Amino acid sequence: MISGSMVGLVFKNTKLKYLFTDFQDEGRYTRAFNEGIDICKPARSAEVLQFSRSHSKMEVNMTSRKMASNVTRAVVIFILSFPLILGCVNSSMASDVTYQRDYSYQASESDSKISCRTLALEQVKRLLLEELGSYLVSHTEVKDFQISRDQVIAITAGIVRTEVLKEKWDGNTYYIVAKITTDPNHVAKAVDELRKDKQGLSELEEVKKRTEELLIGLEKLREELKLSKGGERTQEKKDYTAAVKKLGAGDWFKEGYGLVESGKYRDAISFFNKAIDADPMYANAYSARGYAYFRIGDHPSALKDNNRALDLKPNFPSALVNRSWTLWKMRQYDKALVDTNRAIELTPDYARAYVVRSLIYLFMNNNVNAIEDSNKAIELNPNYALAYHYRGSAYRGIGRYEEALKDYQKSIEINPADPDVYHGRGYAYLLMNKFDDALRDINKALELDPNSVRALYRRGLVYNQLKDYNGAIRDFSKVIEFEKDNAAAYYNRAHSNKQIGKNDEAASDLKKAAELGDVRAQKAIKR
């Protein structure tokens, strides 16, 4: 969840201008749009801004014209409600705003229906995003934005979806009508979060630049086609068609990017597939698809995609970090470390690279380095949930439990929907012999992720300590269903069975644990 506080509202030039600060990051902003936002909203107006454009003409329609005649009343309501609004910790900025544009693309001799649609759609989306960017700049003031209007447009291209309302092709002209509807408050917050990720912002700007260059190149190719003759036209047409496909690839990429930001990874993959089909040399699309594969647990595909991205673009920090994360999951820690080191060398202020390297160090039992990297990530982004999470785990690893609990709590405040952080804190409580607290947190972790093997195993340990042996047996049995070679689960289930007098079951589990290499079980059998 993204949370934030509204610092103030000022009434100026008959328009409300909103000032926001202290927007909190959730670590890696991937859940910002699918978890909702806990906000205290003033009464929503019925005002919807609709923009329609044909070429250079634009008209503005207000769906609630009564608003214009009630300015005085609005001022009074605002003044009376201002203290209440200020008292809301989480606030909404405004009603949804709708922008609607139409665009007509005149076909040339070299165009097909597909190329006309691609170009018309690209142009209408650009018009819509320009309107949204202008709105955010003119109607909001986000403290420390420190980014240009073009950067706002680049970012919003990845987080705002376009809806096509109408299309018409008469053989010469492709007419298209599209709209976007969005809550400017949500978008402003998302823009503020994304701009903190300098590498992510750089990549989005790169996509925008790529699109602009392709549009310029297409116009140049169209002019060359007009001048070419005979056999020359065949190659020119092929070049033109290839350039149009690449333009479409960028559009598919942006759609996929928005879905990743919404946590809809499987849907995102289908769009990245289309981007890659249109442009097999699109490194950003391979890296993004690799990340989506990683999030759904398809690690071989994730590794393959990021390898391809790095073949195409060797000094690609995001692809290096994505591959590193995948290698960590595959327990190839040394190789993962090489990639994060390289990413940090290329981009020293890349917070995500430090967080991933911190995670790798944790699994290499290098808690000191894990703490250092988490510190660096927090320095770069003070609201990075994962950095607090991993630092908490590192503190737990060296027995500094109180500091660990503080970091876990901070991580939960920023992102309360992460099951792993509850599990981590629950494990800390277990090590502190605070079994009731441990059970509460691990239950929360399993509520959020019922199939977490680690959480099931740790809850089994807690149940053993609380002498709930039947509960422990249920959890260890579930662990074994997921991981049939989990020696520790067999060993601990043997203990639970023995405590309730199931000696045969205990002996069988102990034997199995010993066969799988559990030293404790081997020693117990020898005795």
Cα–chain center distance at 246 = 25
Q: What is the mean pLDDT of the chain?
A: 77
Q: Domain limits of the chain?
A: 1-196, 197-230+253-331
The answer to which of 112-121, 199-208, 515-524 has the lowest mean pLDDT is 199-208
User: Does the pLDDT value for residue 237 go beyond 90?
Assistant: no
- pTM to 2 decimal places: 0.68
- Assign 52 a pLDDT band (cuts: 50, 70, 90): very low
* CB distance 207 to 250 below 8 Å: yes
- Assign 134 a pLDDT band (cuts: 50, 70, 90): confident
Nearest to 125 by CA among 211, 246, 242: 211
Could you give the angle at the alpha carbon of 390 between the alpha carbons of 387 and 396, nearest 5°? 140
> What is the β-pairing status of strands 97-106 and 173-182?
antiparallel
Nearest to 432 by CA among 396, 379, 459: 396
Query: Which of 27-53 are b and which e, b meaning 16 or more Cβ less than 10 Å from the residue's Cβ?
Result: bbbebbbeeebebeebeeeebebbbeb
User: Does the pLDDT value for residue 84 go beyond 60?
Assistant: no
Higher-confidence position of 149 and 263 = 263
Q: In whole angstroms, give the CA distance from residue 492 to residue 509.
A: 9
> Stretch 68-72: mean pLDDT, rounded?
40
First CA to last CA across the chain, in angstroms?
A: 53
Instruction: Locate 46 and state its tokens.
Output: 């019925």
Q: In whole angstroms, give the CA distance from residue 197 to residue 179.
A: 28
* CB distance 360 to 347 below 8 Å: no
pLDDT value for 192: 66
User: Does the pLDDT value for residue 173 go beyond 60?
Assistant: yes
> Stretch 221-231: mean pLDDT, rounded?
66
pLDDT value for 116: 79
CA distances from 17 to 61, 75, 136, 142, 156 (A): 21, 13, 10, 10, 20
Higher-confidence position of 512 and 202 = 512
Note the pLDDT tens digit of each residue in 254-309: 888 878 877 889 999 998 998 898 889 999 999 999 999 999 999 999 999 999 99
- Assign 158 a pLDDT band (cuts: 50, 70, 90): low
Nearest to 186 by CA among 88, 96, 62, 256: 96
> What is the β-pairing status of strands 97-106 and 57-62?
unpaired
Task: Give the rounded percent of residues in the chain with a pLDDT score beyond 70.
Answer: 72
DSSP string covering 8-46? EEEEETTEEEEEEE-PPP-SSSTTTTTS----BPPPPP-
* CB distance 154 to 208 below 8 Å: yes
Note the pLDDT tens digit of each residue in 342-376: 999 999 999 999 999 999 999 999 999 999 999 99
Cβ-Cβ contacts under 8 Å for 443 (sequence gap 6 or more): 459
> Stretch 422-450: mean pLDDT, rounded?
97
* CB distance 177 to 100 below 8 Å: yes
Please count the other Cβ atoms lying within 10 Å of the Cβ belonging to residue 330. 14
pLDDT value for 386: 95
Q: In whole angstroms, give the CA distance from residue 147 to residue 78.
A: 30
Beta bridge partners of 12: 15
- Assign 115 a pLDDT band (cuts: 50, 70, 90): confident
Instruction: Locate 328 and state its tokens.
Output: 């960590």
197-230+253-331 has CATH 1.25.40.10 classification:
yes
Q: Is the sign of the CA dihedral 376, 347, 192, 270 positive or negative?
A: negative
Q: In whole angstroms, give the CA distance from residue 138 to residue 188.
A: 12
Q: In whole angstroms, give the CA distance from residue 89 to residue 132.
A: 26
Query: Which of 91-128 are b and which e, b meaning 16 or more Cβ less than 10 Å from the residue's Cβ?
Result: bbbbbebbbbbbbebebeebbeeebbbbbbbbbbbbbb
Q: In whole angstroms, give the CA distance from residue 194 to residue 36.
A: 17
User: Does the pLDDT value for residue 448 go beyond 90?
Assistant: yes
pLDDT value for 111: 74
- Assign 253 a pLDDT band (cuts: 50, 70, 90): confident
Cα–chain center distance at 124 = 26
